Amino acid sequence: MAAMQAGLRYARHSPPLRATLGRAVAFFLFASAYWALLPLVARDRIAGGPGLYGILLGAIGLGAVLAAFGLPAAKRRLDGNRMVAAGTVGTALATLLYGFATNAWTALGASLVAGASWIAVLASLNVSAQSALPDWVRGRGLAMFVTAFFGAMTLGSAVWGKAAQWIGIPGALYTAAAGAILAMAATWGWKLHATKGLDLTPSMHWPAPVVSREIEGDRGPVMITVEYHIDPADRDAFLAALDHVGVERRRDGAYAWGVFEDAADPSHYIETFLVESWLEHLRQHERVTHADREVQDRATRFQRGGPTKVTHMFAAQGSERES
């Protein structure tokens, strides 16, 4: 359970992963329409049977395979965000064609477009999810991506099946196509993570905690404080930089984080964060990346008068408190 909570916490406080999950849900929720309704298109709209349905599914696979050969060239011209946008437009076009289809050739063309669009979006989202995750949480992060993928497909299939009952097969497909375009526009600000630019390998730059005795791994909670002395004129810039540090603290294990300023000394600030146990804090030391170090350096560059002071404190335990 603790490992699952750590994965969920990372996703909650990782903007690149949150953006990837949001874009995935927005796409698959509407792309699921043609997957769910394709048997009805083959049977009711074209008056075909299982053989035609199998051919249409095969055409989707063929479109995906052919597009896969062109993905490297496409990625040299389009970043992940534009690749997903292009795939979403292609998916909307394919969904519209399925709605218009009254013969096998139209549906076959729609299947080829659908397959090419599907692989373009799926590959881009998958790369974004993987590149947004450091090694220690990659498995759990990808599990959440797959959950979002299949969850959106499951929910969408049920929704579009009901929609086909109410407004007909073409109406449901037209609505899904329009929804895919609107969802793409609504989530355009959620930028996918690039494969380059951030070094997510462990930096190991946090010094080992200074302790006077051996500490049990499950002892906690632990409060870590970091003292800063800055020029009061830099207050706003310092706090803005420290906000990004706070996101990292929460993402890597802290369940509470805050910054306090000294009422008597406008240059004195204390950052605090709480971690459930001593072992969890030691894991934080291993999780911090080179990209995190750059973010932290942007905050500590405001420090005046020597390095920051870091202390580690535990919740007090005594016989009276324990009773």
CATH of the domain at 120: 1.20.1250.20
| DSSP letter for each residue of 84-129 | HHHHHHHHHHHHHHHHH--SHHHHHHHHHHHHHHHHHHHHHHHHHH
Average pLDDT for residues 66-78, to the nearest whole number?
Answer: 90
Comparing CA positions, the residue from 134, 133, 165, 46 lying closest to residue 98 is 46
Residue 319: per-residue pLDDT: 45
Domain count, the chain: 2
Instruction: Please give the pLDDT value at position 210.
Output: 84
Residue 204 resides in a domain: no
Domain residue limits at 305: 222-322
Q: Based on the fold, state whether residues 182 and 226 are members of the same structural domain.
A: no
Closest by alpha carbon to 14, among 148, 131, 123? 131
234 with 182, same domain? no
Q: What is the pLDDT of residue 112?
A: 97
The answer to whether residues 95 and 175 belong to one domain is yes
Band of pLDDT at residue 318, cut at 50, 70 and 90: low
Pairwise CA distance, residues 110 & 60, whole Å: 8
Same domain membership, residue 290 and residue 141: no
Q: What is the pLDDT of residue 27?
A: 97
- The pLDDT assigned to 193 comes to 76
What mean pLDDT do residues 306-323 have?
Answer: 75
Pair 242, 299: CB distance under 8 Å: yes
Whether residue 252 lies inside any domain: the answer is yes
Decide if 198 is inside a domain: no
Paired residues of 222 in beta bridges:
275, 314
Whether residue 30 is found in the same domain as residue 136 = yes
Question: Where a domain ends, among 186, 205, 232?
Answer: 186
| CB 273, CB 198: distance < 8 Å | no
Tokens 């696979």 — which residue? 61
Domain-embedded: residue 205 = no
d(C-alpha 116, C-alpha 134), whole Å:
30
Which of 250, 293, 243 lies closest to 13 in space, CA to CA? 250
> Does 227 lie in the same domain as 158?
no
Average the pLDDT over 153-166 and give the result: 96
Residue showing tokens 């005594």: 318
Task: Give the model's pLDDT for residue 197.
Answer: 64
pLDDT score of 320 more than 70: no
| CATH assignment at residue 269 | 3.30.70.100
Q: Are 44 and 172 in contact (CB under 8 A)?
A: no
Confidence of residue 76 (pLDDT cuts 50, 70, 90): confident
Q: Is the per-residue pLDDT at 321 higher than 80?
A: no
Q: Does 213 fall in a domain? A: no
Mean pLDDT in residue range 251-259? 93
Residues 179 and 117 in one domain: yes
Tell me, yes or no, whether 206 lies in a domain: no
pLDDT digits (tens, 9 = 90+) for 106-151: 999 999 999 999 999 999 999 999 988 998 999 999 999 999 999 9
Residue 263 within a domain: yes
9-55 per-position pLDDT tens digit: 999 989 889 999 999 999 999 999 999 999 999 999 998 899 999 99
Clarify whether residues 258 and 173 are in a common domain.
Answer: no
Give the containing element (helix H, strand E) for 66. Answer: helix 50-77
Which has the minimum average pLDDT: 58-67, 78-87, 153-162?
Answer: 78-87
pLDDT for 323 equals 42
Residue 322 confidence (pLDDT) above 60: no
Mean pLDDT of 232-260: 94
Determine, yes or no, domain membership for 216: no
